[in-house]
Structure 1
Amino acid sequence: MSLCEHALSLFRSAVGTVRPAPMLKRALKLQGERCPQLLVNSRAFPLKRGLYLVGFGKAVLGMAAAAEEILGDHLVRGIINVPLGIQESLQRAGMQEMLLKPHSRIQVIEGAKNNLPDPEALRGASAIQELAEGLTADDLLLVLISGGGSALLPAPIPPILLEEKEKLTKMLASQGAAIQELNTVRKILSLLKGGGLARLAYPAQVVSLILSDVIGDPLDIIASGPTAASSHSVQDCLQILAKYNLLHSLPSSVEAVLSSNPTKPAAAEDYSHVCNIIIGSNTLALAEAKHQAESLGYATLLLSAAVCGDVGRVAVLYCQLICLLCLHLAGLGEGPRGSEVRGNLLQLAAELDIPGLNMAEFLQALQGLEPQKPVCILAGGETTVQLQGTGKGGRNQELALRVGLGLHRARGVEASGLGMCDVVFLSGGTDGQDGPTEAAGAFCSPELVAEALQEGLDAETFLSNNDSYTFFSRFQRGRHLLVTGLTGTNVMDIQLILIRATDRS
C-alpha cells in the first residue's frame, strides 16, 4: 500500500471506532424484568415510571437508533434534532444501522442547514423544551449529545429573535472566534443551553451520553452544555463580544437580555439530578489510529488531541515537524539544520499554547525513534480560519493546502531532508464534512504545489481567497480530496503525518 492508502486507512479506522452505535452499545445496557434498571458504564438508574429520550447533534440519529434497540418497550417517547438531509444521506449511503426502525417511538426533526440554526431547528428545540417541562420526579430523561448539537438546539431568550442570534453567531465566526467562544455566547443567550435543559427537566433524573467535539471535553461547552452547570457568565459573553469589536453592533434585543440577566455560574449542587458521561472523543479515535499504524509497521507518536489556533500557524508547526522527521530519517537530525528546526518548533509550540503539549518531551521522544523505520505522527483538535476571501473550503482543506505550500517552500532550503523522504499529510473532519463542501478534508505532499503549477493552479492565489476546495477539486481531478460521505459521528478533526525514507535501490 502507498502512504496515501495507509493514511486513508488510518483515518477510517479512527473514525470507525467512534461511530455512535458501537459506543452506545458498550456504554448502555438494560437489566431486570420486574424492577428494570438502566446501566450506564456500570452505574445503575432505576426505571420507576417513564423513560424518555431527547437528542441533538450530527451523530445523534445513529445513537438514537442504537438506544431504542436497547431500551425497547421501556421507552415511552423521544424527540431528536438532527442535521437537514441526514436521513436521506445515510439511506443513500446504505448505512441502515444509523436509521430508526419503522414505527419508532422517536420523533425526528431535521434542521440547521449548513450547521446554522434555522426555524426547523427552533421547532425541534421547542418540542424538546415542552417534553422536559412535563417530566416528574419518577421519570428518567436520556439525553444524547454530539457535535453540531448547539446549532440544533436554538432557543433564544425572548425578545431575541432566531435571525438576530444567527447573525451574531455569523459575525463572530467570520472574525475567527473559536468554537468555545461561539458556544459561550450562544448559551448565555439561550433558554436550553448552559444547563437550561437540565433545569427544565428537574426533578426528573437526567442521564446524558456525550460524543465530544470540543478540545479537552468540557461538559459545559460541548453543544453549549444543555445538561451541565455553566462555568460562564454574562460578563464572559461581554468580554468575547468586546474582543471581536461587536459590542456596538448588537441588536437591541441582545443588549436588553445581557443588561437584564447578570447571571453567575450555577453551583454544582443545582445539578445533583444529572449524570453526564462522555462515551467518545478525539483521544479515543487517535488511540485506535495509533494501534493500527503500529500494526502497519510505523513508529507512532501522538502529538496532541488538542491542536488549536490559527490554521496558518498550525500549518507552519506541521511543516517544521515534517522537516525535522525527514532530517532524522536521513541521519541529519543532529546537525545545524536539525537544531534550527527544533528551536523553531519550541517557539511555535509556546506561541500556540496547545493544551497538554510539551514540545520538549515530544522532541525527545522523536529522537528515540529507530532510524530508517517509517514514522506516523497523529494529532487531533480544531483549528480556526480567519475568512479573508469569498472562496469555498473548510479548515481541514485549508490546513492541507497551507502545509503543501510550506513544504514546497522548504524543499528549496539546503539540507531540508525533504528530498530523501516520501511524505503524506492528511487532515480530515471526523463528521465527513469540512465546511460547506462534500469533502471531509484533503491530503498533500511536498510535490503538490509544483505539480499544481504545471496545471496552471497557483496555491497561494487560492489560499488568499479561502478557496481550498476549488483548488483540490481542480487539481488532478480531485484526487487529493478526502471524501468519506457523512460518517454519523463527530469528534473534531484528525491529522496524520506519514514519512518513510525514499527507497533508492
Structure 2
Amino acid sequence: MRLSQFVLSRAMMDQARHLREIFQAALGSVQTSNLIQTSVKLKTSEESGKQTLTIVDRSFELKKPVYIIGFGKAVFAMASELLNVLGDKVERGILTIPAGTHEVSKMALGTKKEQLFAEKFEVFEGAYHNLPDEYAMKGAKKIYDLVESLDYDDVLIVLISGGGSALLPLPKEGVTLDEKILLTRELFNRGAGIFEVNCVRKKLSIFKGGGLARIAYPAKVYSLILSDVVGDSLDIIASGPTAPHVASQCMNVLSVLNKYELLDGLSRNLKTVVSHEETQETTASTLRVFRNVKNFVIGNNSLACTAAAQKAQKLGYYADVVTTRIDGKVPDVAEFYLEIVKYFKYKSRPIIAINQYQDLLDSMVMVAFEKMKYSRVGDPLCLIFGGEPTIVVGGKKGKGGRNMHLALELAMILEGDDSEGIYFLSCGTDGIDGPTDMAGAIAPVGLTPEEKEQAKPFLENCDTYNYFKEKKPDYLIRTGHTGTNVMDIHILIITGKAI
C-alpha cells in the first residue's frame, strides 16, 4: 500500500511539473515585450529622413511625435517596450494599471530606464479586484483631457489589454461611479459573461463603444490590443473604446439586466441611460471617425494555447489545441471535461457533452477528436483549451476564483477509474484568479469520499482559495502579475487511454 502510494505521488509530481511547464510556455508566448518587438518597427529613410512606423503589416509616415495612452493589466510592459522602439518620438503618455502593480513594474525597468519612463509617462493605479473605482477614474479623466486636445496631424497609440474596462471608467451623464461599480459587481456575481457585462458597460461609459475614437478625432489612432475575450471581438475587448459598436455582437442591454434580475433595482436616471436605443453605427460621421482608426490584435489566447501544445509535444505528449472558445458556467465546463475524459479513456461511451453543452464547442473540437483517433497506442494525451468560464457567486461568498473553482469542481465529479491517469490545470494568464494572489490550481484528482465531503462547503461558498490553502497548498499555481492577459488556459493530460 505504501509503495503504490509512493508511485502515485511520484507520478503526480511528474505530471504537475509538466502542467506547470506547459502553462509557463503559454505565458512566455504572450509576453508583451516579445509581442511589441515583433509587431512595431520604426524606420528612418537615409535619403529623405522621413520616419515610418510599421505596425504588423501596415506602415504610416510619422510627421510628429506620438502620444500614448494605455489601460489594462499588460499596458505598463507594453509601454516600456514601445518606448524602446520609439525613443524620443514619444511626446507624452498616460497609463492606468491595476492597483499594486506599479512598483513591481518599475523595478523591472532598471534605474536609467525608470527615469526616462517617468519623464514620458504618468501612471495611475486603480480597479481593485477588477472593478472600476475613483483611482482609475482619475486616470481616465487625465486620458480624456489629453485625447480631446489632439489635432489632425497628431498620432495617438492606444494600448489595450485585459482589465481595460475597469481601468477606464468615465460614466455618462446621469450615471454615478458608485452605480456603475455596484451594477458591474452584481453582474459578475450573478454569473454574467464578459460579452454581457461589456455590453452593459458600453451603455454607461463615455469612452466605451467607440467613444475614445470619437473624442480623439481627427487625430490618427493606432490601437495595439491583447485580446482577453472569446473570438477577439474588437468591440468587446475592454468594451471597444476604439472600435465601432456592433449591435449584433451585443445582447439587448435591457434583456441582460432582466436576465439577472437587476433592471427593476436601477435608479431612474440609470434606467434612462440603459434604455437608449441600440443601433448599428453606419452614419457618415461615424464612418469618418473610424477611417482614422486602425486596430491591431497583437496577442490572444490562440497564440498562448498553440505555444502550450508545442511545449507538450516536446515533453512527449500527443498534444492539440481543442478550442479557445470555452465560455460556459464553471460546473458545465467541468462536466464537459469529464465527458472528454470518458471518451478518450473508453471510446465506447458517447460524448453527451456535445449535445448537452453545445455552447462550449465549435468545429475545432470535432476536428481535434478525429485527429486524436489516430494517435499511437499508449501515447499520453495533452489537450489544450482556452477561454473564460463564468461562475455564479453564492453561499457565504468566500474567497476564490473561477480557475481554482473549476479545478476543484472537476476533481469532485471524477469517480473511480475515470480519475486514474488524469491531470488537469486551470489558470488565468494574468496570474490573478479572482481577488487572490494565485493564477489558479491543479485539480486534486483522486479525492476520497471523505475528502469530497470536506470540500463541498468550500465549493458551495465559492471559497476555493481557502480550500487549496488549507487542504492542498501544493496544487496552487502562483505566478504573480504576469504583465499579460489573454484569458484562461486549461490543460488536460490523459495518461491512461484505450484506442
Cα offset, 1:238, TM superposition: 1.6
In the alignment, does 2:397 pair up with 1:402?
no
Cα offset, 1:418, TM superposition: 4.2
Choose from 96, 116, 121 the match for 1:103: 116
- The answer for the alignment partner of 1:85 in structure 2 is 100
- The answer for the alignment partner of 2:470 in structure 1 is 474
Cα offset, 1:79, TM superposition: 0.4
In the alignment, does 2:475 pair up with 1:462?
no
Report if the CA contact (8 A) 2:380-2:496 is conserved: yes
Q: 1:227 to 1:417 in 2, by over 3 A?
A: closer
**CA offsets 1:226-251 (integer angstroms, 9 cap, x no match):** 00000139982122112222221112
In the alignment, does 2:385 pair up with 1:387?
no
**CA offsets 1:69-94 (integer angstroms, 9 cap, x no match):** 11111111010110111022445xx6
TM-score by length of 2: 0.91
- The answer for the alignment partner of 1:269 in structure 2 is 287
Aligned ranges 1:21-36 → 2 under 5 Å: 21-32=33-44, 34-36=49-51
Q: 1:391 to 1:182 in 2, by over 3 A?
A: same
Cα offset, 1:281, TM superposition: 0.3
The one-letter code matched in structure 2 to 1:468 is T
| d(CA) in 2 for partners of 1:444, 1:137 | 54
Choose from 264, 267, 272 the match for 1:248: 264
| d(CA) in 2 for partners of 1:38, 1:170 | 40
In the alignment, does 2:376 pair up with 1:370?
yes
- The answer for the alignment partner of 1:211 in structure 2 is 226
Q: 1:146 to 1:99 in 2, by over 3 A?
A: farther
Report if the CA contact (8 A) 1:425-1:444 is conserved: yes
| d(CA) in 2 for partners of 1:437, 1:5 | 22
Aligned ranges 1:156-235 → 2 under 5 Å: 156-232=171-247
| d(CA) in 2 for partners of 1:381, 1:313 | 14
Report if the CA contact (8 A) 2:68-2:157 is conserved: yes
TM-score by length of 1: 0.89
**CA offsets 1:436-485 (integer angstroms, 9 cap, x no match):** 011100012431x229x46x971222111111111111114x10111111
Cα offset, 1:182, TM superposition: 0.6
Q: 1:241 to 1:153 in 2, by over 3 A?
A: same
- The answer for the alignment partner of 2:10 in structure 1 is none
The one-letter code matched in structure 1 to 2:378 is Q
Q: Match of 2:80, SS?
A: helix
Stretch moving more, 356-365 or 131-140: 356-365
**Structure 1, unaligned stretches of length 5 or more?**
328-332
**CA offsets 1:411-447 (integer angstroms, 9 cap, x no match):** 1xxxx4544xx22100000000000011100012431
Report if the CA contact (8 A) 2:127-2:167 is conserved: yes
| d(CA) in 2 for partners of 1:473, 1:499 | 26
Cα offset, 1:173, TM superposition: 1.4
Q: 1:322 to 1:78 in 2, by over 3 A?
A: same
| d(CA) in 1 for partners of 2:329, 2:105 | 33
Report if the CA contact (8 A) 1:147-1:222 is conserved: yes
**Root-mean-square deviation (Å):** 2.1
- The answer for the alignment partner of 1:69 in structure 2 is 84
Q: 1:253 to 1:290 in 2, by over 3 A?
A: same
How many pairs were matched up? 474
Q: 1:322 to 1:66 in 2, by over 3 A?
A: same
Report if the CA contact (8 A) 2:199-2:251 is conserved: no
- The answer for the alignment partner of 1:8 in structure 2 is 20
Cα offset, 1:355, TM superposition: 5.3
The one-letter code matched in structure 2 to 1:346 is I
- The answer for the alignment partner of 1:348 in structure 2 is 356
Cα offset, 1:168, TM superposition: 1.1
In the alignment, does 2:87 pair up with 1:58?
no
Cα offset, 1:5, TM superposition: 0.3
Report if the CA contact (8 A) 1:154-1:190 is conserved: yes
- The answer for the alignment partner of 2:9 in structure 1 is none
**CA offsets 1:127-178 (integer angstroms, 9 cap, x no match):** 1111111111101000000000000000100121100111111121121110
Cα offset, 1:358, TM superposition: 5.2
Cα offset, 1:356, TM superposition: 2.6
Cα offset, 1:303, TM superposition: 1.5
Q: 1:258 to 1:464 in 2, by over 3 A?
A: closer
- The answer for the alignment partner of 1:330 in structure 2 is none
Q: Match of 2:129, SS?
A: helix
Q: Match of 1:102, SS?
A: helix
Q: 1:465 to 1:97 in 2, by over 3 A?
A: farther
| d(CA) in 1 for partners of 2:222, 2:110 | 23
The one-letter code matched in structure 2 to 1:465 is N
Cα offset, 1:347, TM superposition: 2.4
Report if the CA contact (8 A) 2:147-2:216 is conserved: yes
- The answer for the alignment partner of 2:300 in structure 1 is 281
**Structure 2, unaligned stretches of length 5 or more?**
1-12
Q: 1:112 to 1:64 in 2, by over 3 A?
A: same
